[in-house]
């Protein structure tokens, strides 16, 4: 393709995601489902329209897209409500990690007859469980935004649990890669770095919150420089989280968003980022997930493994996170909503799977089923969320009304 072919690729992605997004909306499904389907159709899984020479640019745009998406989620987060769900979010995340690890290990144990020592096979089986722990909250965030439920009690619980889930997933991944390769790094050192991020990151966010509050209060109108300063802080937090602390960049972006929430010009800043996300970043990010899918050569045994893997991926998150929510006094309806909100694996699981394959931690026959599981959970999550929120309960209405009036 021509050196400027990426421009055509972006144009095709934007057109197809918007068209299919509107089409899925006609069928009462979130537009994000259309964007994911567009990625599948444009990628090597179906028509292979978007070529490899455009993917580098698309991947960079999609990375910025997921950062902005999580930053926007932080901007719209009711910090007071998030504090209330802090304890419940911890329990939800812990059970939401334990259940998938056990389920993933069990199904891999039944099907993994690859070569290797007992220890290597154990690590391979455990790694499937680790992959299933990885929640991709970005798709849930986009769906909750469409439904107007991002600041609801269940929405805040999902966001809080996803943040903790991310940290627990990093710990689990670090442990298993350390066991597989001594060069992966000292486990204790990694845990210290994660704790350091929460301490230093929180202090940085508090400082920036105070700065923005004073700066914005001194001006009588909305200024574009507020948006620029906010985005710079978001990028610095994302970079620092990933590079210096080994924490996912989207976690740093979310922290940055929370730091700016409840400041005088937060609504103005949010509206500017919503425009940028809608115009380019969000469609490219969600389409990029589908673009990465390459369907494997499927044998009968692998097809059965794939079906069971998808079922385990769905059930373990719904039961684990739902049980955690129920133990924290959430209603049955909200417990199910929280469990569903944690289903999607998205790009996180794909990244983990790639790392595992490179380290020999995953049977190569399992990579295809992992990709299919990721795509299925990514598509089914917004559909199930929409169904779960279809009937509005009185408490949810009150919370939504309170959030909209702030």
Torsion of CA 10, 12, 18, 19, to 10 degrees: 180
Contact by Cβ (8 Å): 149, 400:
yes
Rounded distance between C-alpha atoms, residue 78 and residue 405, angstroms? 12
For the CA atoms of 96, 135, 184, 101, the dihedral, rounded to the nearest 10 degrees, stands at 30
Residues of the chain with pLDDT under 70: 1-2, 28, 78, 81-85, 114-117, 174, 178-186, 219-220, 296-298, 346-347, 391-406
Q: What is the torsional sign of CA 179, 238, 59, 97?
A: positive
Identify the helix (H) or strand (E) that includes residue 137: helix 137-147
Output phi, psi for 153, to 5 deg: -60, -45
Query: What are the C-alpha distances in Å from 170 to residues 68, 90, 200, 242, 354?
Result: 21, 15, 18, 11, 15
Please give the pLDDT value at position 234: 96
Q: Give the total number of structural domains in the chain.
A: 1
The confidence score (pLDDT) of residue 163 equals: 76
| Closest to 389 in 3D by CA, of 58, 84, 220, 152 | 152
Is-above-0.85 flag for pTM? no
pLDDT in tens, 365-387: 888 888 889 888 988 988 899 89
Q: Please enumerate, as own/partner, the contacts of 303-308 that have beta carbons within 8 Å and a separation of 24 or more.
A: 305/107, 305/111, 305/366, 305/369, 306/368, 306/369, 306/372, 306/373, 308/107
DSSP summary character for residue 299:
P
Q: Are 33 and 24 in contact (CB under 8 A)?
A: yes
DSSP letters for 235-257: HHHHHHHHHHS---HHHHHHHHH
> At CA 75, angle to CA 289 and CA 343, rounded to 5?
40
Q: Which two tokens stand for residue 139?
A: 């798709």
Q: Which DSSP category does 185 fall into?
A: -
Kindly write down the DSSP assignment for every residue of 113-128, as one continuous string: --SS-HHHHHHHHHHH
Rounded Cα gap, residues 141 and 151, in angstroms: 10
pLDDT in tens, 328-351: 989 999 999 999 999 988 667 777
Query: What's the CATH code of the domain at 272?
Result: 1.20.1530.20
Alpha helix segments (H runs only) across 3-85: 5-26, 31-42, 52-75, 79-84
Cβ distance 166 to 135 under 8 Å?
A: yes
Q: Which residue is listed with tokens 């290597």? A: 120
Q: Find the angle CA(377)-CA(48)-CA(313) to the nearest 5 degrees.
A: 10
Which residue do the tokens 């994911």 mark? Answer: 36
| Residue listed under structure tokens 């005088």 | 264
Residues in the chain: 406
Helix, strand, coil shares, percent, the chain, to 5: 80, 0, 20
Q: Report the pLDDT value the prediction gives residue 117, as an integer from 0 to 100.
A: 59
Range of the domain at 186: 5-134+142-404
Distances (CA, A) of 290 to 64, 166, 283: 17, 22, 11
**Calpha distance 371→373 (Å, rounded):** 5
Q: How many CB atoms lie within 10 A of CB 85?
A: 24
């Amino acid at each position: 393709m021509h050196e400027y072919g990426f421009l055509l690729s972006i144009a095709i992605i934007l057109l197809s995601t918007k068209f299919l997004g509107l089409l899925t909306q006609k069928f009462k499904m979130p537009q994000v489902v259309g964007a994911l389907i567009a990625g599948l159709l444009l990628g090597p899984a179906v028509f292979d329209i978007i070529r490899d020479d455009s993917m580098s640019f698309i991947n960079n745009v999609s990375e910025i897209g997921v950062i902005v998406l999580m930053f926007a989620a932080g901007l719209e987060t009711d910090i007071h409500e998030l504090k209330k769900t802090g304890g419940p979010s911890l329990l939800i995340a812990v059970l939401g990690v334990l259940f998938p690890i056990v389920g993933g290990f069990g199904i891999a144990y039944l099907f993994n007859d690859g070569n290797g020592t007992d220890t290597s096979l154990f690590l391979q089986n455990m790694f499937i469980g680790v992959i299933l722990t990885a929640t991709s909250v970005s798709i849930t965030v986009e769906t909750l935004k469409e439904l107007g439920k991002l600041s609801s009690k269940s929405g805040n619980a999902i966001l809080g649990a996803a943040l903790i889930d991310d940290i627990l997933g990093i710990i689990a991944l670090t442990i298993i890669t350390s066991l597989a390769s001594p060069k992966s790094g000292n486990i204790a050192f990694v845990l210290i770095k994660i704790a350091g991020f929460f301490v230093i990151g929180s202090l940085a966010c508090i400082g920036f919150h105070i700065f923005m509050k004073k700066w914005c209060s001194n001006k009588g109108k909305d200024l574009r420089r507020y948006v620029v300063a906010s985005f710079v802080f978001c990028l610095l937090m994302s970079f620092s989280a990933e590079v210096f602390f080994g924490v996912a960049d989207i976690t740093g972006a979310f922290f940055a968003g929370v730091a700016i929430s409840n400041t005088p010009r937060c609504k103005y800043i949010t509206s500017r980022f919503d425009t940028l996300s809608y115009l380019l970043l969000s469609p490219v990010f969600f389409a990029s997930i589908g673009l990465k899918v390459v369907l494997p050569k499927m044998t009968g045994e692998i097809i059965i493994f794939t079906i069971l893997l998808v079922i385990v991926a769905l059930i373990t998150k719904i039961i684990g996170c739902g049980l955690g929510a129920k133990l924290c006094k959430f209603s049955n309806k909200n417990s199910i909503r929280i469990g569903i909100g944690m289903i999607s694996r998205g790009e996180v699981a794909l990244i983990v799977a790639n790392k595992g394959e490179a380290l020999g931690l995953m049977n190569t026959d399992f990579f295809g089923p992992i990709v299919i599981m990721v795509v299925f959970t990514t598509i089914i999550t917004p559909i199930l969320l929409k169904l779960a929120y279809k009937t509005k309960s009185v408490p949810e209405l009150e919370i939504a009304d309170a959030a909209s009036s702030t």
